Chains A and B, each alone.
Chain A
Amino acid sequence: QVQLVQSGAEVKKPGASVKVSCKASGYTFTSYDINWVRQATGQGLEWMGWMNPNSGNTGYAQKFQGRVTMTRNTSISTAYMELSSLRSEDTAVYYCARGPRKSSRFDYWGQGTLVTVSS
């Protein structure tokens, strides 16, 4: 069965960076794009960007341009999302989700990773 398993919760200080992993299993990792979506506590969903695991091509929301980097390691079927220059407003649950670029059709989601930014 398809699974996306994310890394554990993180606590970071303002200005630091965080790197969240998303390990895929149950399907061919390079055949489906991976998107990243975040959700602050009590708030709605916010799309951050997509990555094609086969080519490594990416597309980021303008809001995160220059601060986010999405990469992958195909040998271990794992996608990564790194967010830098963290501020308190970045405190949120971060999800990876499988789905085509330029769509909102995300059929499988990771369990979420809580990133807390606090001094």
Chain B
Amino acid sequence: QSVLTQPPSVSAAPGQKVTISCSGSSSNIGNNYVSWYQQLPGTAPKLLIYDNNKRPSGIPDRFSGSKSGTSATLGITGLQTGDEADYYCGTWDSSLSAGLFGGGTKLTVL
């Protein structure tokens, strides 16, 4: 049971938009930056979003992040079949002095 809660799965059609939520508490999301990762099958996670809403170089602007209070959201527009992957949110927990990840969300592009 992860401290950060994500929906197990989401789905949408190609070209559509999807959002993935990540819920935490004041000791983690509420007072620390959130990152988002994409993990394709059999590969290492890839940083998509950091510091709540910043994209590393090379990440298309179809991917966006936001944070409000103790929750964060990843948005993906113009869905492509290549976006099918597991998505994880991550943050630091100040009380636990530990890094945290959500349980992951499997995105299916129908």
Binding site for B on A (CB under 8 A): 35, 37, 44-47, 50, 59, 61-62, 95, 97, 102-107, 109-112
Chain B nearest CB: distance from A42 CB in Å? Answer: 10
Q: How far is the CA of A3 from the CA of B51 in the complex (A)?
A: 22
Chain A nearest CB: distance from B8 CB in Å? Answer: 10
Q: Are A103 and B92 in touch, CB under 8 angstroms?
A: yes
Instruction: Give chain B's interface residue range (CB within 8 Å of chain A).
Output: 20 to 34
Q: Are B45 and A105 in touch, CB under 8 angstroms?
A: no
- Majority DSSP secondary structure for residues of B touching A: strand
Select one of B2, B35, B96, B97 contacting A104, CB under 8 A: B35
Q: How far is the CA of A77 from the CA of B102 in the complex (A)?
A: 31
Q: How far is the CA of A105 from the CA of B37 in the complex (A)?
A: 10
B110 at the interface (CB under 8 A from A): no
Q: Are B98 and A44 in touch, CB under 8 angstroms?
A: no
Q: Are B44 and A111 in touch, CB under 8 angstroms?
A: yes
Chain B nearest CB: distance from A111 CB in Å? Answer: 6
Q: Are A106 and B47 in touch, CB under 8 angstroms?
A: yes
Q: How far is the CA of A35 from the CA of B99 in the complex (A)?
A: 9
Q: Which residue of B lies closest to A47 (CB)?
A: B99
What would be 7 A-B contacts, judged by CB atoms less than 8 Å apart?
A: A47-B101, A102-B92, A103-B33, A104-B32, A105-B33, A106-B45, A106-B90
Q: How far is the CA of A71 from the CA of B51 in the complex (A)?
A: 28
Residues of A within 8 A of B101 (CB): 37, 44-47, 104
Q: Are A107 and B56 in touch, CB under 8 angstroms?
A: yes
